[in-house]
Structure formats: C-alpha cells, structure tokens
Amino acid sequence: MRTVDKGSIHPRSQRRMMQVFDGAALGPPPIWLMRQAGRYLPEYREVRAKAGSFLNLCYNPAMAAEVTLQPIRRYGFDAAILFSDILVVPDALGQNVRFVEGEGPRLDPIRDAAGLANLSLRKATTKFDTVAETVQRLRQGLPGETALIGFCGAPWTVATYMVGGQGSSDQAAARGLAYRDPTLFQSLMDLLVDASVDYLGRQARAGADLLQIFDSWAGSLPDDEFETWVVAPTRRIVAQMKAQFPDLPIIGFPRGSGPLAFNYVQETGVDAVGCDTAMPLELIRSSLSGKTVVQGNLDPLLLVAGGDRMRRRIDTLLATLAANPYIFNLGHGIVPETPPEHVAELVRHVRSYGRA
C-alpha cells in the first residue's frame, strides 16, 4: 500500500493561497490576516505567559509553532504566518533588543560607525536557524492545504527601530541619519539586505511556501528617499531570493506608499502587493488590480467593530477586487481588542463569496 503524507495529498500548487500567483482569480479568494496570532486570542496569552519574554517565545520553536497554529485551528485560514518578529534580525545581529510590557520594543540605538561595527551577520546564524526550526516544525504540523508564509522586515523599517531605539510616529532619527551620514546609513542598509537574504533563505529551505517583506514605515519618506531606502534595498533582496528560489512568491507590504505602490511593484519585482488601510480602493482597482496580485485592505478597526458595517465593506472589497488575483487581508495587523468571534464572522462572510 502507498503511504501518503499530508504534503503529497496537497502538493504546494494545490494550496489555494498559491494558485493566485499562477494568475487565478478565486471565488472566494484565499484569506489570512496580518498578526493573526497574538494577544486577541486567549490561547496565545496563555503560551505567551509561559514563555516569559516575547523574544523567548520567538526563539522557542515548539512554542512559536504552537502559537502559529492556534489561529489556523480556530479559523482555517488559507495561510499560516511564521510566528516571529521583524526585530529578531537586529537582535540576532548583536544589537540589544527587548520588549517592554505595555510600551513596545526598546533597542540600544545605532548612531555611529562604532555602533554598526558591533553587529555581524556571522553572529546571527544560530538564532536564524532557531527560527528556521520553527518553520520546519510548521511544515510538518500544518494541514496540507495551508500555505506557510515566512517573513522579514524591510531594511528601511528595521533600520527605523535600530536607529531610533524604539517605535516613533515620524521615524525622525533614521530619516535624520540618512541625510546627515548617507554613507553610514547605506552600510547599515547593506548589512540588513545581506541579513534579510540569509534569514529568508533559511526560512525558504526549511519549508516556507512564500514570503512577505514588511515595510511598515515606507510611507514616511519623500519620493526620492523612498526610491533609495525602500525600493532599492527591497529590489536587491527580491533579486537574490529569485536567483536562489525562482518559484517562491514574495509579497511586498509598503505601508503608506499610496500612489508610489505601483512603481514599488514594478521596480522591486515582488509578486504581490499588500495594500494598507489608507490606500484608496479606487487607486488599488485602477493601478494595481490585474497588474499584480493584490492583498488587503480591510480596516483592522472595522474588524473590532464588526457587524453590518464590516460585512458591507467586505462585500465592496470583494466586488471590486476578487475578479482578479486577490488575497483577502486587513490593511494592517489585528489589534489586541479584536473580539475573536468577529474574526470568525469575517472568515465566514469572505468564504460565502462566489458560493451563493
């Protein structure tokens, strides 16, 4: 008798999430949500409490795999996203990173050449391999029909935290350093390009089906700087990944890029674009839909509100975007106040599309 594992019943190409990258417009479209694992789920808070610190959770493959699987068990999303954080990269490179309860990430800021000289990719590989082990466990533990997304932060967004030492609303520290000392800033970006390629490569070899590059602060730059610090480093990462893994789709998420998103897609070579909450639906329809795979962009706060208002907006998104290759998602991550039953209602409503 032939033994079949879950993977061979559902070869990668049969996962609905992957089919949009072959040009399929699916009704209903595949769905996953940014930050689908997290504090809005009681079972996450339980594991998080056991882990102690947030970074301990990221570096514990059994626990990280468990919290990745929690939203898949509840909602049956078409894709799981590896549980980790974009700030694992600076931590692994040797910068001091900690997460302060109720405040967010704190890092010892990189402000000069001496600070940069303390970081090295050589140091990072052990921690990167720990994350890759989580990916490997997930590939074993996920249902065959569920795609697995690996990710990293884009160099610009990661640099805003590395230079600022914490999150900020205007990314002034990084923008200032990029003007004051572009050579130093370029060296930091070069290191982050190399680290991202190494990190994503390990995730790909461990079994990730596709990747997302989070550029959460792409919207804080004027257009010439956007080209230099958002587009150019992302293009280098995409080119190096495509050279090694030609069939691995890459989603870019240039949050806040507005009308620059079309050039971003064209110039970086990403296979799909994550549209943020503020991206006008008419702009998505006219400049992106049908030209690349579109992902997005329900307001996470409308998911908190739920009800008719949410269902009506979902209907509008589907009516406008689902005739072309489309992945349903939010315009940014799920917030901790989100009632889990609203997520269930969202999934139910999206899945009823095209099945009437």
Secondary structure of residue 242 in the 3-state scheme: helix
Residue 81 engages ligand CP3 in binding (rule: CB under 6 A): yes
Active-site pick, 48, 202, 236, 255: 48
Only one of the segments 98-106, 111-119, 135-143, 271-279 lies at the binding site for ligand CP3 (rule: CB under 6 A); that segment is 98-106
Residue 167: CB atoms within 10 A of its CB come to 14
Question: Is 35 an interacting residue with respect to ligand CP3 (CB under 6 A)?
Answer: yes
Cα distances (Å, whole numbers) of residue 120 to 89, 159, 187, 203, 337: 11, 15, 12, 19, 38
Q: From the candidates 161, 264, 326, 353, give the one annotated as an active-site residue.
A: 161
How far is residue 164 from each of residues 105, 153, 158, 177, 336, measured CA to CA in Å?
11, 16, 10, 10, 25
Residue 106 sits in the site that holds ligand CP3 (CB under 6 A):
no
Choose which of 15, 16, 29, 36 interacts with ligand CP3 (CB under 6 A).
36
311 is catalytic: no
Assign 334 to helix, strand or coil.
coil
Q: Is 134 in the site for ligand CP3 (CB under 6 A)?
A: no
The footprint of ligand CP3 on residues 156-195 (CB under 6 A) is 167
Q: Are 142 and 148 in contact (CB under 8 A)?
A: yes
Considering only residues 275-334, where is the footprint of ligand CP3 by CB under 6 A?
Answer: 333
Distance CA(165)–CA(108), nearest Å, equals 6
Is 161 a known active-site residue?
Answer: yes
Is it true that the peptide bond before 297 is cis, omega within 30 degrees of 0? Answer: yes
Counting DSSP H helices and E strands in the chain, the numbers are 18, 9
From 7-15, 36-44, 128-136, 262-270, span contacting ligand CP3 (CB under 6 A): 36-44
Give me the catalytic one of 16, 44, 85, 264.
Answer: 85
Tokens for 187?
Answer: 């060296």
Which spans of this chain sit near ligand CP3 (rule: CB under 6 A)? 34-39, 48, 54, 81, 83, 85-87, 99, 104-105, 151, 153, 167, 214, 216, 333
Active site residues: 35, 39, 48, 85, 161
